[in-house]
Amino acid sequence: MPHRRRPHCIACGALCLAAILFLCLMGLNAGPETPPLLSVASTIALRHGVQMPQMGMGMGGRLKEEWHGGGAVAAANDAISVGIRHLDTAQVYGTEDDVGQVVRTCGVPRDAMWVTSKLNNWHVCTMSFNETIASLNTSLTQHLGLTHVDLFLLHAPPCGHVIESWRALLHARDALGLTRAVGVSNWNVARLEALSHAGYELPQVVQVEVHPWLPQHGLVDYCHAHGIAVEAYGPLGPSARWHDARLGVIADAHGKLPQQVLLRWLLQRGIVPIFGTHSPKHLRSDVDLYDFELTADDMREITQWGANKSAREYVFHSSQWADDDVASCLERLGCAPLLGVP
């Protein structure tokens, strides 16, 4: 008697085939998640859906003197020619005019460029709400010549009353459209916690000194856990450390320079390096970071070098309080002194 397939067997077979096909397709997509490849065009997502280019060129600091007489404009244009789209200036740097000129004339669409500036609450400790808005407007209309910046930071931690300025920054972003994102610089976890305890929105970005000898583990972990992007200034650390034999071994293993390893270490930690150079040769080296990857062992090794030593002499350095002290600091002092509230 000829074998006749029963209808439910056919259905079973079809189901099995469908299941196998489904599993194969899942297998293609479901491996361990591969992080997107880094490139000079990589961006970091900020809260409120803003994308910030991950590699930023610093337009201030120690380099200011060399940048007189058109030097800053030439350096920023050169940075753009090698793919940099993120320029970091500040009211105190004296380079807002140069940055504005470059952004307006470089030929890259405005919305593809990222401009950060910072409120000069470094020398003027306490600014009212209105003074803060006026100061940002002065940057935009009299120096940058732009309708908005992409990020505006409080440059220094509170040496006076900081809340009015913070409220003004949020208003400048949400109601006036003068900046797309807001943040703070040189703050530590205690101050961020105080801001949050006082009921204010946390910054979208925190800019502090970070490099392997000041790894800021506690602050970086806190920021990433709270959806705050971390920008590293002084990313190369003290130049005396570039000859560290352990750094040399890792650099040689990848055929790269010590400075490139230092910058790559930050990128792989999901941090935004804000590097500075006025040398075209160093610029090209500082963006040549995308043809190698530090191994997990390299990352672990470098991460252990931290001596928590600052290359700077700022008295209000952000690691002034150990992270362990945050809870007791808040308990003892409350939020107000940490925010400069009288």
Ligand X SMILES: NC(=O)c1ccc[n+]([C@@H]2O[C@H](COP(=O)([O-])OP(=O)(O)OC[C@H]3O[C@@H](n4cnc5c(N)ncnc54)[C@H](OP(=O)(O)O)[C@@H]3O)[C@@H](O)[C@H]2O)c1
Considering only residues 276, 294, 319, 335, which one is a binding residue for ligand X as defined by CB under 6 A? 276
CA 191 to CA 339: how far, in whole Å? 7
Least distance (Å) between residue 193 CB and ligand X: 20
CA 266 to CA 74: how far, in whole Å? 26
- The yes-or-no answer on residue 222 being catalytic is no
Our CB check for ligand X shows the closer of 189 and 232 to be: 232
* Contact flag: residue 282 with ligand X (CB under 6 A): yes
Q: Show the binding pattern over residues 229-268: x = contacts ligand X (CB under 6 A), - = does not.
A: ----xxxx----------------------x---------
Considering only residues 117, 135, 165, 207, which one is a binding residue for ligand X as defined by CB under 6 A? 207
**Residue with nearest beta carbon to ligand X:** 58
CB atoms under 10 Å from CB of 21, counted, come to 10
Tell me which residue has tokens 């650390």: 237
Query: Candidates 35-43, 123-131, 222-230, 274-282 — which segment interacts with ligand X by CB under 6 A?
Result: 274-282
CA 116 to CA 95: how far, in whole Å? 11
Length of the chain: 342
Our CB check for ligand X shows the closer of 193 and 286 to be: 286
State the number of CA atoms in the 13 A half-sphere of 271 facing the CB: 30
CA nearest 179: which of 147, 142, 135? Answer: 147
Query: Candidates 78-86, 218-226, 275-283, 315-323 — which segment interacts with ligand X by CB under 6 A?
Result: 275-283
CA 41 to CA 85: how far, in whole Å? 8
Residue 340 in contact with residue 333, Cβ under 8 Å?
Answer: no
* Contact flag: residue 187 with ligand X (CB under 6 A): no
Q: Show the binding pattern over residues 70-89: x = contacts ligand X (CB under 6 A), - = does not.
A: ------------------x-
Least distance (Å) between residue 27 CB and ligand X: 43
Paired tokens of 19: 């299941």
Q: Show the binding pattern over residues 35-64: x = contacts ligand X (CB under 6 A), - = does not.
A: -----------------------xxxxxx-
Least distance (Å) between residue 260 CB and ligand X: 7
CA nearest 99: which of 123, 122, 121, 80? Answer: 80
Paired tokens of 275: 């590097």
Considering only residues 185, 188, 216, 318, which one is a binding residue for ligand X as defined by CB under 6 A? 185
Paired tokens of 227: 């959806």
* Contact flag: residue 96 with ligand X (CB under 6 A): no
Paired tokens of 209: 């000194």
CA 90 to CA 154: how far, in whole Å? 10
CB atoms under 10 Å from CB of 181, counted, come to 22
* Beta-carbon contacts of residue 268 (< 8 Å; ≥ 6 apart): 38, 293, 294, 299
* Residues in 285-324 that interact with ligand X by CB under 6 A: 285-286
Considering only residues 55, 180, 275, 318, which one is a binding residue for ligand X as defined by CB under 6 A? 275
Query: Candidates 20-28, 39-47, 277-285, 324-332 — which segment interacts with ligand X by CB under 6 A?
Result: 277-285
Give the residues lining the site for ligand X (CB under 6 A). 58-63, 88, 185-186, 207, 233-236, 259, 274-279, 282, 285-286
**Which sequence positions are flagged as catalytic?**
93
